[in-house]
Chain A
Amino acid sequence: MQTWSLVSLCVLLGLAVRWGVSLNSYSGAGKTPMFGDYEAQRHWQEVTYNLPVQEWYFNTTKNDLNYWGLDYPPLTAYHSLICAFVYNGVSLGFALWGVLALGLGWDALGSVAFCLALNYKQMELYHALPFFCYLLGKSVKLGLMGRGLFLLVRLALTVLVTFALCWLPFLSDPGQAMEVVRRIFPVARGLFEDKVANTWCSLNVLIKIRSILSSDSQMYLSFACTLLAVLPSCVRLLTKPTFWQFKLALANSSLAFFLFSYQVHEKSILLAALPACLLLNDLPLMAIWFLHASTFSMLPLFLKDGLLVPFVVTSLGFLYFSIYLLSALERCSEEELRLGAYHKLLFCLPKLDLAWIVRWKFYVSVSVMAGLSIAAVALAPPPHLPDLFPVLVSIASFSHFLGTFIYFNIVQFSEPPSRKSQKKNN
């Protein structure tokens, strides 16, 4: 079958699945953010057309089928869109355009796209550092005395102009601009709200940080931790500005922000899910595992909005089809999973078959997630612990996210496999 028809079919299927999910909305016939969804879907279509040339070095047939899997992650990411939570898709879409443009080498366009994303939703700051470090690193590599400087200046101008255009109505009065900033960053709201799978909420189960520290010190603490968490990845990207490093840095940065930042919502995991989708082809098992965990982390939200059936259907579908189409469970030798660095870390236990361990961890984790989901639906929590299941879900998700964060960091710091072994794997 021709490429264009396969891709169109995937897009249509993705749209149909999304519309089917939206028919299940809580309020009966909720408004579907069609524009946002469609925009993101169109981006995926572009991704499948263009990125193959860049990075994925497979032949065409395998390529297209792999990207059928890609149509599901946005769906797991956009479940939350159906709870009348509109237009997440647009900012994520713009960010994806940015990544795509950078992948193709169109730096200025990529910057514009990302600035638009940033101005659409301030959450995109999660991705801002990698963009900055990548472009800066690229300019430095080109030589700060020549083309590098030219590139840097061009990018700076592009960013400034884009921001100015977006903020034009507010620039006349600095007071207004400050007000906007204050509204976008509501620092008075506390370290976290509700049950979210990040460090502070999980820590709160043991130590009540919110009551111990003052609001200001909470802010400083989270700021410091986030910075520390994101620093290694960004510095590495600055020194080695390749596209592969960029993708990993995106994942690491968004995870770092999610885990340690201030006033994080569960839906912010979508910002980490986006780079994970980009890594589906290279690290299929880990990416699938993470994406599954990210959907699972939103289970309490889905239950609240009556979206159990779409959750079950899409989780099962995603898990089955991504593993099937990407052959994730076959492609998990030690080399493919980049576990070499782990060997060095665990030097005291040299004889471990890490690939086997990882596979079994995957099975156990999926079973635990399934078990918790069933328990959350079927069982009533004990009266003295009314939030038992949301807390359990968030702690389980937190441990997954932390593990993924550490893993992606280690992978970013290890050497990429040689070309020869990559060709062998293809």
Chain B
Amino acid sequence: MAAADSSWFPALSLGVSLFKCLFISAYHSTDFEVHRNWLAITHSLPLDRWYHENSSEWTLDYPPLFAWFELALSQGARLLHPPMLLLSNLNYSSPEAVLYQRLTVICTDLLFLYAVRECCRCVQEQKGSRDVLNQPSFVLAVLLLWNFGLLIVDHIHFQYNGFLFGVLLLSMAKHMQSLHLQGALLFAVLLNLKHIFLYVAPAYGVYLLRSYCFTQDNSDGSVRWRSFSFLRLAALGGIVLSVCFLSFGPFILMGQLPQVLSRLFPFKRGLCHAYWAPNVWALYNGLDKTLTLLGVRLQLLQEAELPKASMTGGLVQEFQHTALPSVTPPVTLLCTVLSILPALVSLWRRPRSAQSFLRCLLLCSLGSFLFGWHVHEKAVLLAILPLSLLAVQNREDAGIFLLLSTTGHYSLFPLLFTCAELPIKVLLMLMFTLYSFSALRHLHRGPLLLPLETLYLGGLLPLSLCCDVLLPLSPWGARLPFLPLLATSLYCSLGIIYCFLRLYCSMLRGGAERPKQP
């Protein structure tokens, strides 16, 4: 390429934005109707009805700042295509409505593009290499901009993750540039946009306390207790509280806070989503099912005593386990906290460094993914995207990234189950996997995966063949429609748990081998 060094970023961004436009008419999930309904709610109803409205099953369950965002979008809809804003127009998806909403996703992705550019700036360049394709910042830009998960979830399945992850990445970039107040502000905004980011709030809390409120370290890297700055703590608190007040304020004043919170945290939805996210509870469920079957076979359990519907019915409801003890929300909370506690402690005890923060954030998001209540499989993106930043700088992280991203992305396959989208998801998956493998191997000069890990990833191919081709066509296909999803879920959870453990090992092993970060 004879182009200047900095012109590759606009080229990549334009390319991916144009590419996203091609999927405007592709399949979209019920999330499309969800957002259309929210546009209608925020536009047609007064503020005090927003969190009470339930004429549609897709009630408003994001924090108020997102509702304000939808209100802003609805103004555009009002000018272009008013019928989509009618509450009664359930499942309305005219071409204009689809075009408008898809374009809003593509346009709000501009924030994501900006955030990626900021992250690329924080990455150390390799000295002496003039080849643009081999620069860490270029590889990072491609891994983030063309991330398979985001393309599939945002631009086909339909969600606003790009924009939200943009805010997260921007916040992370600000912390890496030591602009902690800006980073905190962005994170507070993010929490008020989508509360799933509470998963990583502990990492932020500990890091900001450790690295911002305590202004100095001792020579051995431990915290200097005397350097605590109340002013800084007050500034942080002020920022967070004011953002929360801006967002929740009107509802607190109207006394609707309990209602809002009940909408935000619907614990009645069951331990697992309709499709089990590949986490620990999926394995637990699988074990429960196996033991139940065994128990029935060995006549330790009576079949008549078993609950009729099962968790594999594909519905979102609360159910009990049969052979193993049932899991309740407090239990999952405890497990999550226990899983991330060592990481938080390790972050506290380390000298201040943005890389440790990143690692802890990663572990918090993975820990919450693995042990959380009613986790969606899309939440794996919360781990894959930040890991990309580490992958381009560190050899070991690159290996873990390859494993996590391939497994995590594969676990998103069931989201697109229509025939027309099958080639797309296969092609995009191949593209991303091919690129990540070859670029990272070239960057770090050499193989990155152990033979066992390569074997595991290789197993995804026969798994996909079985699930997408063989099982549906076989005689069991009709009787056990959930079997492919179950198999995918269980297989992927093994990989993700393994990555979690490996990341933990690398964090706890300490920062001796890691390259110095600016």
Residues of A within 8 A of B (CB): 1-2, 5, 8-9, 12-13, 15-17, 19-21, 23-24, 29, 61-62, 65, 309-310, 312-314, 316-317, 320-321, 324-325, 327, 330
Contact = CB atoms under 8 A, between A and B. Distances in A.
Contact of B21 (A12, A62, A65, A313): A313
Given A12-B434, A21-B22, 15 more contacts: A1-B438, A1-B439, A1-B442, A2-B438, A2-B442, A20-B23, A20-B26, A23-B22, A24-B22, A24-B24, A309-B24, A309-B25, A312-B21, A316-B18, A317-B19
A2 B21 CA distance: 29
B102 to A, nearest CB: 10
Contacts of B24: 24, 309
Contacts of B438: 1-2, 5
A321 B19 CA distance: 13
Given A8-B434, A324-B3, A324-B7, A317 B428 contact: no
A309 B99 CA distance: 10
B300 interface: no
Contacts of A320: 11, 14
21 contacts: A1-B133, A2-B438, A5-B435, A9-B431, A9-B434, A13-B431, A15-B423, A15-B427, A20-B22, A20-B26, A23-B25, A23-B420, A24-B24, A309-B21, A309-B24, A309-B25, A310-B22, A312-B21, A313-B21, A317-B18, A320-B14
A29 B25 CA distance: 10
Contact of B424 (A13, A20, A313, A324): A20
A19 B423 contact: yes
Q: How large is the interface on B (under 10, 10 to 19, 20 to 34, 35 or more residues)?
A: 20 to 34
Given A23-B25, A313-B21, A330 B424 contact: no
B455 interface: no
B434 A5 contact: yes
A330 B423 CA distance: 38
A316 B131 CA distance: 27
Contact of A24 (B7, B11, B25, B134): B25
A321 B22 contact: no
B18 A324 contact: no
A16 B434 contact: no
Interface string B12-32: 001100110111111000000
Q: Which among B18, B24, B435, B438 has the greatest number of chain A C-beta atoms within 10 A?
A: B18
B430 interface: yes
Nearest to B139: A1
A19 B3 CA distance: 29
A310 B442 CA distance: 34
A316 B18 CA distance: 8
Q: Which among B19, B22, B23, B439 has the greatest number of chain A C-beta atoms within 10 A?
A: B22
A51 B237 CA distance: 64
A65 B14 CA distance: 17
Contact of A19 (B11, B131, B424): B424
Nearest to B420: A29
Contact of A23 (B424, B427, B428): B424
Given A5-B434, A321-B15, A17 B22 contact: yes
A320 B427 CA distance: 23
B304 interface: no
Interface in B358-397: none
Contacts of B424: 16, 19-20, 23
A1 B439 CA distance: 6
B151 to A, nearest CB: 10
A15 B11 CA distance: 20
A330 B430 contact: no
B229 to A, nearest CB: 47
Contacts of A62: 1-2
B1 A325 contact: yes
A16 B1 contact: no
Nearest to B419: A29
B431 A327 contact: no
Contacts of A65: 1
Contacts of A309: 21-22, 24-25, 99
B420 A327 contact: no
A317 B1 CA distance: 17
A327 B2 contact: yes
A297 to B, nearest CB: 21
Given A15-B427, A327-B3, A313 B22 contact: yes
Contacts of A1: 133-134, 438-439, 442
A13 B432 CA distance: 10
Contacts of B19: 16-17, 20, 313, 317
Contacts of B3: 324-325, 327
Contacts of A61: 131, 133
Contacts of A21: 22
B442 A16 contact: no
Contacts of B11: 320-321, 324
Contacts of A29: 420
A5 B434 CA distance: 7
A16 B427 contact: yes
